[in-house]
Amino acid sequence: MKLYLKVWRQEHKESKGNMVNYEVDGISAHMSFLEMLDLLNERLIGKGERVIEFDHDCREGICGACGMMINGRAHGPLTGTTTCQLHMRGFKDGETVYIEPFRATAFPVLRDLKIDRSAFDHIIQSGGYISASTGQAPESNSIPIAHEVTEAAFDAAACIGCGACVATCKNSSAALFTSAKISHLVLLPQGKLESADRVIKMVGQMDAEGFGHCSNTEACEVECPQEISVLHIGRMNYEYNKALLLKK
Amino acid sequence: MKQATLTYKLMMAATGLFLCFFLVIHLLGNLQLLLPESEAREQFNWYSHLLSGNILIKIISYILYLSLIGHAVYALIITRKNIAANGSKYVYDKRSQVSAWNSRNMGILGTIILIFLIIHFKDYWYVYKFGHLPLDAKGNKDLYSIVITSFQQGWYIIIYELSFIALGFHLLHGFFSASRTLGLYHPKYSGAVRVFGWVYSLAITLGFMLIPIYIYFNLNAL
C-alpha cells in the first residue's frame, strides 16, 4: 500500500521544526508502524538524506520508549497500544498520516520525533523508591501481602512511562504517571512507611518539571498503552490531602 | 509553602462544592415562585426579606461571594499555567476523540456562567439591595413583581435557559471532578458519586430552567 506521510522534522532542540511530506510506496499491511518508518528511513539513506529520528527499543510494547502522535492521537488511533504494536493493516491505501512528537513543555523535542522524557526520571528520583539498607535479599514471605493487593500494586506498576498520558492531556498533566508510581508503592506494606513524604516530594517534582493541572477529562486512561486507571489519580489526591493535613 | 498543582485544584473543588450547595438552596427558594400567585408574592417577598436581614445568611453570603471570586480567579491561574505547560501546539490534533467535550471546556462554560451572573446580579441583587422597590401588602420589598416582569420578555428567557444549559454541563463534570480532587478513589463510591452527579446536575438544571418558562406562560406582568 501507499501512504502520504506528513512528518515533523526538527534539527535540534532550539531549532524551529516543520511538517515535511513523504510518499511511501510498497508498505506491507503486516508491518508495524515503526517498520514502516524504517522502510522510509532506508530510502532516505539511499538518497543521502538525514533519517527521521524516533525513539524505540523493545518493539514488543513493554518498554515505553516509542511514542508519537499519529493522526492527532497518542500512539495512533487504537487504544491500549504502543506505537510499535500499531500495524499498517489499520491504515487505508492512499491515506494521509500525520506524525508528530509528543508535545509538552516538560518534554522538549530533541530531534524530529525524539523527545526528552527525563522529567519522568526526575519524578521517580524524587520519591519513587523504598528506602532500604543494602545487604542480603530478605526472606520474601516475612511480610504477608494479600494476593489482591499485589495484583492492584502491579496494575499500577505496569506503567511503562511512555508519556502518552501527558501528550494526550489538554493540560500536559503528568497526573496519571505520577499517581501510578505513588499508588504502586503505597499499596504495599514496604511502601506505606514513607507514603506522606513520598507524595509531597513527587507531586512537588511533577510541578517543578512544568507539567499542568489534572482536569479529570480521563483522556489519559483511554490512550494509556497499559490502561492504567484514573482512579490512581484519586488515590494520589487522597494521599496528598492526607499528607497535607497530617504534616507537622 | 509554595502551592502545588493539587492545592490549586483543592481550592477549585472546595469553592465549587460550596457553590453546588448554594445552588440547591437557591433553587429551593426560587421554587416558591411556582406557588399560586396570591401566595407566591407575599411568601417570596417575605423569604427575600428574611435572607437579606439575617446575620447568619450574611456570613454565608460573604463566603458565597468569596467562593465565586476564588473559583474564577483560581480557574484563571490554572488555565494560564496549563497553557504554559502545553508549549507548542500539535499541527494535527484529534485528542478530543477520547474525552467528553464539557470536561475539556470547563473554562468556556464557566465564562458563560460568569457573564450570566453579572446580568443576574445587576437585575436582582443590585436592584434589591440598592434600588427603590415598591412594597407589598406586608411591607416587604416587592421583588416578586420585578421577577415576573422580567420574565415576560422572550430574549431574556433565552439568555437564562442557555446559561442554565451551560451550568448543567459545568456541574456534570465539576461535581465528579471535585470528588476526585478530594481523593475519592474507591471504584464503588467513585461510580456512585458519578451517578449522583448526574442526578444532581439534571435536577438543578431542569429546576432552574422550569421557572422562567412557567412564569412566561402562566403569569402576566402587572
CATH assignment of the domain containing A155: 1.10.1060.10
Q: What is the pLDDT of residue B208?
A: 97
At residue B219 the predicted structure's pLDDT band, cuts being 50, 70 and 90, is confident
Judge whether A15 lies within some domain: yes
CB under 8 Å to A121, separation ≥6 — which residues?
none
CB under 8 Å to A77, separation ≥6 — which residues?
A70, A71, A86, A90
Judge whether A140 lies within some domain: no
Per CB-CB distance under 8 Å, the chain A contacts of B91 are 6, 8, 19, 98, 100
Separation in Å, CA B144 to CA A231, B43, B49:
47, 9, 11
- Interface contact A203-B5, CB threshold 8 A: yes
Tell whether B100 lies on the interface with A, counting CB pairs under 8 A: yes
Return the amino acid letter for B187. Answer: P
- Interface contact A98-B177, CB threshold 8 A: no
At residue B221 the predicted structure's pLDDT band, cuts being 50, 70 and 90, is low
**If you count residue pairs, one on A and one on B, with CB atoms under 8 Å apart, how many are there?**
138
Are A122 and A239 part of one and the same domain?
Answer: yes
Are A101 and A213 part of one and the same domain?
Answer: no
Judge whether A135 lies within some domain: no
Tell whether A13 lies on the interface with B, counting CB pairs under 8 A: no
Q: What is the pLDDT of residue B61?
A: 93
Which of helix, strand or coil describes residue A108?
A: coil
Judge whether A57 lies within some domain: yes
Which pTM does this prediction carry?
0.94
Judge whether A199 lies within some domain: yes
Q: What is the pLDDT of residue B133?
A: 87
CB under 8 Å to B208, separation ≥6 — which residues?
B27, B30, B160, B164, B167
Q: Beta strand pairing status for A3-9 and A96-100? A: parallel
Per CB-CB distance under 8 Å, the chain A contacts of B185 are 231-235, 237-238
Q: What is the pLDDT of residue B132?
A: 86
Tell whether A243 lies on the interface with B, counting CB pairs under 8 A: no
CATH number belonging to domain B5-89+99-218: 1.20.1300
Shortest distance, CA B102 to any CA of chain A (angstroms): 9
- Angle among Cα A110, A114, A115 to the nearest 5 degrees reads 65
Judge whether A138 lies within some domain: no
- Domain with A174, as residue range(s), is 117-130+145-246
Q: What is the pLDDT of residue B220?
A: 73
Return the amino acid letter for A200. Answer: I
* Alpha carbons B128 and A186: distance in angstroms, whole number: 54
* Alpha carbons A178 and A214: distance in angstroms, whole number: 11
Q: What is the pLDDT of residue B154?
A: 92
Are the beta carbons of A74 and A219 closer than 8 angstroms?
no
Judge whether A139 lies within some domain: no
> DSSP for B129-164?
HHS-PPB-TTSSB-HHHHHHHHTT-HHHHHHHHHHH
Tell whether A234 lies on the interface with B, counting CB pairs under 8 A: yes
At residue A135 the predicted structure's pLDDT band, cuts being 50, 70 and 90, is confident
- Interface contact A72-B90, CB threshold 8 A: yes
Per CB-CB distance under 8 Å, the chain B contacts of A240 are 4, 6, 183
ipTM value > 0.95 = no
Q: Which residue of B has its CA nearest to A211?
A: B85
CATH code, domain carrying A22: 3.10.20.30
Per CB-CB distance under 8 Å, the chain B contacts of A170 are 82, 86, 95, 99, 104
pLDDT at A72 over 70: yes
- Interface contact A241-B182, CB threshold 8 A: yes
Q: What is the average per-residue pLDDT within B37-65?
A: 91
pLDDT at A242 over 70: yes
**For the sheet containing A73-74, what is the strand order?**
A18-24, A3-9, A96-100, A69-70, A73-74
pLDDT at B125 over 60: yes
Are A151 and A184 part of one and the same domain?
Answer: yes
Q: What is the pLDDT of residue B222?
A: 54
Nearest to A168 among B6, B10, B98 (CB): B98
Are A172 and A96 part of one and the same domain?
Answer: no
Give pLDDT tens digits for A96-119: 999 999 999 999 999 999 999 999
pLDDT at B2 over 70: no
Q: Which residue of A has its CA nearest to B190?
A: A231
pLDDT at A201 over 80: yes
Give pLDDT tens digits for B196-216: 999 999 999 999 999 999 999
Are A176 and A205 part of one and the same domain?
Answer: yes
Q: What is the mean pLDDT of chain A?
A: 96
Q: What is the pLDDT of residue A141?
A: 86
Are A124 and A239 part of one and the same domain?
Answer: yes
Tell whether A98 lies on the interface with B, counting CB pairs under 8 A: yes
Cβ within 8 Å of B, A 176-205: 203-204
Judge whether A137 lies within some domain: no
pLDDT at A214 over 90: yes
Per CB-CB distance under 8 Å, the chain B contacts of A204 are 4
Grid coordinates given for B51: 435572607
Are A122 and A9 part of one and the same domain?
Answer: no
In this predicted structure, which of A132-136, A158-162, B170-174, B207-211 has the lowest mean pLDDT?
Answer: A132-136
Domain count, chain A: 2
Are A81 and A125 part of one and the same domain?
Answer: no
Give pLDDT tens digits for B86-105: 999 999 999 999 999 999 99
At residue A210 the predicted structure's pLDDT band, cuts being 50, 70 and 90, is very high
Instruction: Give, as one character, the DSSP assignment of residue A104.
Output: B
